[in-house]
Every structure is written in C-alpha cells, then in structure tokens.
Amino acid sequence: MNSATLFDAKPPVDDLPPTTNDNGQPPRRRRRLWLRVLVALVVLALVVPAALFAFAYAGSDIPRPSDMAVNQVATIVADDGKTVVAKIVPPEGNRVEVNLSDVPKPVQAAMLSAEDRDFYTNSGFSISGILRAARDNALDKESAGGGSTITQQYVKNAFVGSQRTITRKLKELVLATKMTREWSKDDILAAYLNTIFFGRGAYGVSAASQAYFGKPVGKLTVEEGAVLASVIRSPSALDPETHLNELKLRWNYVMDGLVSMKTITQADRDNAGFPKIIPLSQIGGGEAPGPEGHIRTQVLHELAEAGITQKQIDTLGLKITTTIDPKVQQAAEDAAKQSLKGEDDELRTAVVSIDPRSGAVKGYYGGDDGAGLDFAQAPLQTGSSFKTFGLAAALKDGIPLSARYDSSELTVHGIRITNVDGESCGKCTIAEAFKRSLNTAFYRLALSMDNGPQKIADMAHAAGIPEHIPGVNGISLTENGGEPETGIVLGQYQTRPIDMASAYATFAASGVFHKPYFVSKVVTNDGEVLLNNGGDAGKQTVPKAVAENLTQAMLPIPAWSRNHNLWGGRPAAAKTGTTQYLDTGDDKDAWMVGYTPSLSTAVWVGKADGKPIYNSWGGPIYGSGIPSDIWQLTMEDSLEGTDVESFPWPDPIGGQAGVPSNSYVGTSGSGSRGTGGGGGGGGTAKKPDAPAAPAEKKQVEIFPGFFVPVG
C-alpha cells in the first residue's frame, strides 16, 4: 500500500467523529432543542392564558339580570297621574327602562345589524367580528364597525369601563363569556338597549326614541330604528345636525344588513327612505327650567324626608304622583303672567294654593325661573295680612268681634302708629277695623291683651307658621330669639307665602291644621309602592269657634278690597297686606291671602332686591291691587265648575257670633299697611269696651238641631 492510498482511504462511517457546530453541539441535538423551545412557547401562549382565563372566569361574579340597577329618569306627574310636571334626570342622562317586548322586532334587528349580527350565536365575543372590523378599518371603509359584540359593549359600560389597556380588555372578554353562559340572550339585549348612549343626552332606546323622533319606542319604524342603531357607533361623529351625510352612509350599511339577515326584503329596502329627525331645538330636556322647576325641588326635599334615597330615585324609574292639580297650577301661572303683563319687569310674584281639608299643595308658583330663587319659599314681611293672627288670638282670649277699639293715631315710645291716608272709623268694632285694616286699632288690640304679642305669635304657630323657617335665624316671629314686639300684629316679622297659604287653610278648615305636602305616591318601574301619602289626619290646633268667627270677619274683605269678591257670589274669606320700604313711605311687599272651604291661596308681589314697588301708572302697589288681581283670577279659574260652598256658622265668643250688625261704618279707604318696623313694646291702653248685648240670633232651624244663618 503506497502512501497515497493510505491517506485517501475513508474510515467506516461509525468510526467518524460527530459533526459539531460552532458551539460544539451536534445538529440533531440542536434541532431537538429548538423543538422543545417551540413547544414550550406554544404551551406558554396557549395553556397559560387558558389557565389564567379559567382562573379569572371562576373568580368573576356576574349578577342576575334582576339585580342590575341601571340609571333611569324619574317622572313627576300631577294628581291626575298623567300630566307630566317635571323629570328627575340622573347624571348619566335621560333614561327610561323598557322591556324588550316593548321594542319592535325590526328595531331590535337593526341594532344587531349595526353592532353584532352574530349576537344570538356567538359566545360573548366574535372572532369573525374582530377580523371583519380589522379588515374594514384597514380598507378605511366609512361603514366600518367595531370588533366588540353587544355583550362586550354592555360589559364595558356596566362593569369594566372604557380604559384602553390589555388587562381591561381581557377582563371584558372573561365577563362577556361568563355572562353569555349565565344570562339569556334576550336579557343581555334588553340590558344593552336600556343603557347604551345614543347621543342628544339620551341613554337607552326609549329616551333615544323621544330625542330623535318624539315618539314612544313602541311606535318606531324599521327605518327609524336603523337611525338609532347607526348613531351608537359614534353619536357625535354621526350627529344628524352636523354630520347628516355620514349618518346616512351608516344607515345604508344597517339597512343592507337587515336584508342579509332576512329581516326585510330587498323590495322593502329599495322602497325605504331616510326618516325625518326632529330638530335638536325641539327636544325637551325634562329638567323643568320653568315654574315647574320649583315643584321639582320641593318634591326632592319631600322624598328625602320620606327616606327615599338618591340611588332609588336614579335607578328605579320612579313615577312620583304629586298633589298638584293641573287646573289650579295653570290658573296660578296664567294669573301671574296676565296680571304682571305691562308692569315693571323687576316685579316678582309667588302664588301657593292648598287644600284646607288635607294640606295638599294644589298649585305652586315661585317664579318663572325654575333654577332661580323660589319666592314661594322666601321669608318676607307680611304687613296687615298678619292681622288675621292678631284677631284670632284676641278671639281665643275671649274678646268678641263686637269689642270696640279707638282707631285714631297713637304714639308709643316715640313711634307714631298711623293708618293709610289718615283712615279712621272712630271707636268701632274690631271686625270693622279688621275689614278696613286699621293699624291703630290693632296695635291697641295687641296692647290690650296680657302678653299680647306672644299670644299672637303662638296663634300663628298653632295655625301653621313654622317655628323654624329656612333663612330666618332662631325661632320665627321673635325678636332675635326673645319675645316678639307689639309690631308683630302689623306683620313686622318674616314668613313665607307657602306658610301663609297653609295657616289660612287651617282657618278655612275650622281650626284643623294639616301639614302641607307635595307627594302623594311613589311607585317604582316594576310596580313596587315606596310611598303612599294621603296627608295627615289633621289636628285641631285652633279652637273651632275662633276659626269660624274669624272667617266671618274676613268674608266682607274681598269685596271691600276694590271688588275682588269671587264670581257668582261664591263665599271667600281674605285679607290684604302691604309693608313699607324702610321709613320712605314707599311699599315693598304686597299680599292677598284668602280661602274658600276647598282652597286657600296666598299671593305675594314684590322685587327680588326688596326695593319699592310701583304699578305701571307710577302709583304704589297695595295688597288690594295686583296681588288681589292675581288671587281673584287664580281662585275663580281654579274653582270654575265646582260646587259653591258656604262656611259653617260659628258658636259665639263673648256673646257674639259672627260680625256684629252695629259696627260703625265710616268713609271707605284704600286699606292700610304695616310699617315693617319694630313698633316698640310696652305702653298701656284701655281695655276694650264691654261688648254690646248680642242681638237675637238670625238663624232658622231647618232640621232638628241644625241651624243656618239668614239675612
């Protein structure tokens, strides 16, 4: 064997040394290593997420459909149960929950066409939907939709929010999957339709139906349903007021989808036209910006006092039935507007009407701005309309309407007490002085009673003036928390129009006080009654004879006050009042408060800044002027068509029942006004003359033991 043969000879294969790479590893071992790494990556990519998904799935808690509380609007209605007074809208918008059966099938299908055509077959998320959305968005199609299913969208809105993170998206998928297994598809769709935002401040399909078409959801057409389904994707970018062309493109996509879903035929599609959408300016927000806004505020206060929480108000779709009578409410608003027309633009008025038999507030006008100052709740000086409580206190003290008082001027501690235009009836009965509203006689009346000012305050509180009035420090009708001054009888202290209507209602009810209230019934959307209020049973806080004799003394006043008696001879008891602006002699507050057996109404006229008030002719405004006009119109329109009722004849006090026939009658005047000042205390005055012997009772017995007055 030569050397060449020796070196060219190849060893057996098995004897060859193993091939190595740069790292010294054989290729086969290297392939096995990469295979193992690949398998490990696949395991990590599939098994670990699956395990995490399973863990998250098991730990997620999905409530039952019945447990879900969605925000929705509460509706305030009048006592007829139908007339909408106002709405209470949650922060998230105007939502009214409806059952899925209330939504027409074509409208339901339009929602699926727009957002999730595989809704009834997918498992909470849709791979095909995600891929389709990616494709359409990559191609920049105008009609491109999102990749989320309806279930995912609902989970995002109700549970996880819209934060753009992987963690949030994974949680959304987990909950959507679990919800699909635990809820029925119909329940998911119903929850979705009641919570999704449609733009125009409308949350839920019911509110959207009103916002876009001004009709109930049950009356929507398929074309209208397609519009609502279209705007879900981007309510601002598809707003019909600003992006109508873009909305129509999306609408066409939804309508074409309805054909592919076999909800409508191609012929129906060809004949379909884009529906008319109501202008944004015609949409009612429901927040009650007008006079009804003040009613809404009082309703909310009353609901809180009854223990009904804000969460219940926002989530239970409450129907809140109030005591407001639409006829009385309209009468008050019309009377206010009609009587102030052509007058100073700065004049304001408050009108409150209450049912004396229950305390139900039947009409409530605190001003035109429902979000502004409510003058029906404003503490104001009442002037001579407070003399009513002075006379009631005197009657309770045993002083009859026939008692006589000097009506000439007097000065107490340097304070001069006068009557308007020097009016006087000499030494006349207190009933006559009351009709003429003579300050001097009533100041002497207050002085004639032991601790008279306090008795007057006590009578006012008993009738219904609250001891604690918002905006008034300490106990009302007191001098800085101490004893009231004698000027209380002239109306120097503050009360509110609603308090005056309530207290006078007590006199109308023969001394029985009923706490005023606004809410009669509260029912949830599913029929649960949270509150059923018929008013309190009433309490005899003023002696019956006192209230009924007082009423007799008030009956002549409407006619005396520039012929403001009610039409058809309907009996009505009333009292006017006016207060001065500082010591200027100008008037700043003017009142008319009065009642029939079925309705008590208080009217105030003044300015927000408490400055002097003048009528369109430049003259001062008295209670017998504009306030009496408003009162008369409100009462007549409210009571039109109702029975004419009479007041009961009173039992005598001090030997006198009703107004004595021998009152001195002097020259007529325009009434009087309280000074609005302190009036001072102390001083002495003669006790009233002993009453004249009562005249023979002018009564006829029509049934055994039942008498009626005659003459």
**pLDDT per residue as tens digits for the range 664-693:** 544 333 333 333 333 333 332 333 333 333
Q: How far is CA 578 from CA 182, 380, 456, in A?
A: 70, 11, 19
With a cut of 70, say whether residue 55 has pLDDT above it: no
Segments in 482-536 forming alpha helices (H):
497-508
Give the CATH class of 383-495+649-711. Answer: alpha beta
With a cut of 70, say whether residue 191 has pLDDT above it: yes
With a cut of 50, say whether residue 695 has pLDDT above it: no
> Lowest mean pLDDT: which of 43-52, 440-449, 649-658?
43-52
Whole-model pTM: value is: 0.72
Which CATH number is 71-92+287-378+508-535+586-643's, of 3.40.710.10, 3.40.640.10, 3.40.50.10490, 3.40.50.300? 3.40.710.10
> Lowest mean pLDDT: which of 33-47, 292-306, 485-499, 646-660?
33-47
With a cut of 90, say whether residue 124 has pLDDT above it: no
Q: Where in the chain are the domains?
A: 71-92+287-378+508-535+586-643, 95-282, 383-495+649-711
Q: How far is CA 495 from CA 97, 100, 293, 393, 586, in A?
A: 42, 51, 22, 18, 21
Measured between alpha carbons, how far apart are the two ends of the chain, in Å?
167
Q: Model confidence at 420, in pLDDT bands (50, 70, 90)?
A: confident
- Which has more pLDDT, 293 or 58? 293
> Lowest mean pLDDT: which of 211-215, 359-363, 509-513, 515-519?
211-215
Span 29-40, mean pLDDT? 73
Q: What is the pLDDT of residues 364-396, one digit of tens each?
A: 999 999 888 999 999 999 999 999 999 999 999
Dihedral of alpha carbons 83, 88, 94, 100, sign = negative
Question: Minimal CA–CA distance to 116: which of 107, 106, 125?
Answer: 125
Q: What is the pLDDT of residue 403?
A: 97
Q: What is the pLDDT of residue 676?
A: 35
- Which has more pLDDT, 212 or 15? 212
Q: What is the pLDDT of residues 620-659, one digit of tens each?
A: 999 999 999 999 999 999 999 999 999 999 999 999 999 9
Q: Is 370 helix (H, G, I), strand (E, B) or coil?
A: coil
Span 445-457, mean pLDDT? 97
What is the b/e burial string over 679-693, where b = at least 16 CB atoms within 10 angstroms of the residue's CB?
Answer: bbbeeebeebeebbe
Q: What is the pLDDT of residue 689?
A: 35
Question: Helix 452-463 to helix 387-396 angle, to the nearest 10 degrees?
Answer: 100
Q: Model confidence at 709, in pLDDT bands (50, 70, 90)?
A: very low
Residue 112, amino acid: L
Q: Is 540 helix (H, G, I), strand (E, B) or coil?
A: strand
Q: What is the pLDDT of residue 675?
A: 33
With a cut of 70, say whether residue 360 has pLDDT above it: yes
The average confidence (pLDDT) of the chain is 84
Break the chain down into helix, strand, coil percent, rounded to 5: 40, 15, 45
Q: Model confidence at 413, in pLDDT bands (50, 70, 90)?
A: confident
Q: What is the pLDDT of residues 343-353, one digit of tens each?
A: 999 999 999 99
Dihedral of alpha carbons 292, 293, 298, 300, sign = positive
Question: Minimal CA–CA distance to 508: which of 471, 469, 548, 536?
Answer: 548
Side-chain-side CA neighbours of residue 165 (13 Å): 6
CB 435 within 8 A of CB 364: no
With a cut of 60, say whether residue 415 has pLDDT above it: yes
Q: What is the pLDDT of residue 668?
A: 38
Span 72-79, mean pLDDT? 92
Q: What is the pLDDT of residue 46?
A: 57
With a cut of 70, say whether residue 131 has pLDDT above it: no
Q: What is the pLDDT of residue 31?
A: 75
With a cut of 90, say whether residue 228 has pLDDT above it: yes
Residue 24, amino acid: G
Q: What is the pLDDT of residues 454-500, one digit of tens each?
A: 999 999 999 999 999 999 999 999 998 899 999 999 999 999 999 99
CA–CA gap between residue 78 and residue 81 (Å, rounded): 6
Share of the chain above pLDDT 90, in %: 62
CA–CA gap between residue 208 and residue 194 (Å, rounded): 10
Span 430-451, mean pLDDT? 96
- Which has more pLDDT, 549 or 30? 549
Span 402-428, mean pLDDT? 91
Question: Minimal CA–CA distance to 412: which of 489, 314, 513, 517?
Answer: 489
Q: Model confidence at 200, in pLDDT bands (50, 70, 90)?
A: confident
Residues with active-site annotation: 115, 384
Q: How far is CA 427 from CA 20, 300, 403, 419, 588, in A?
A: 137, 52, 10, 14, 30
CATH fold, domain 95-282, is: Penicillin binding protein transpeptidase fold (1.10.3810)
CA–CA gap between residue 232 and residue 133 (Å, rounded): 16
Q: What is the pLDDT of residue 157?
A: 76
Share of the chain above pLDDT 70, in %: 79
Q: What is the pLDDT of residues 587-627, one digit of tens each?
A: 999 999 999 999 999 999 999 999 999 999 999 999 999 99
Q: Is 315 helix (H, G, I), strand (E, B) or coil?
A: helix
Do 71-92+287-378+508-535+586-643 and 383-495+649-711 fold alike per CATH?
yes
Question: Minimal CA–CA distance to 361: which of 345, 377, 346, 349?
Answer: 377
With a cut of 50, say whether residue 534 has pLDDT above it: yes
Span 125-149, mean pLDDT? 58
With a cut of 60, say whether residue 79 has pLDDT above it: yes
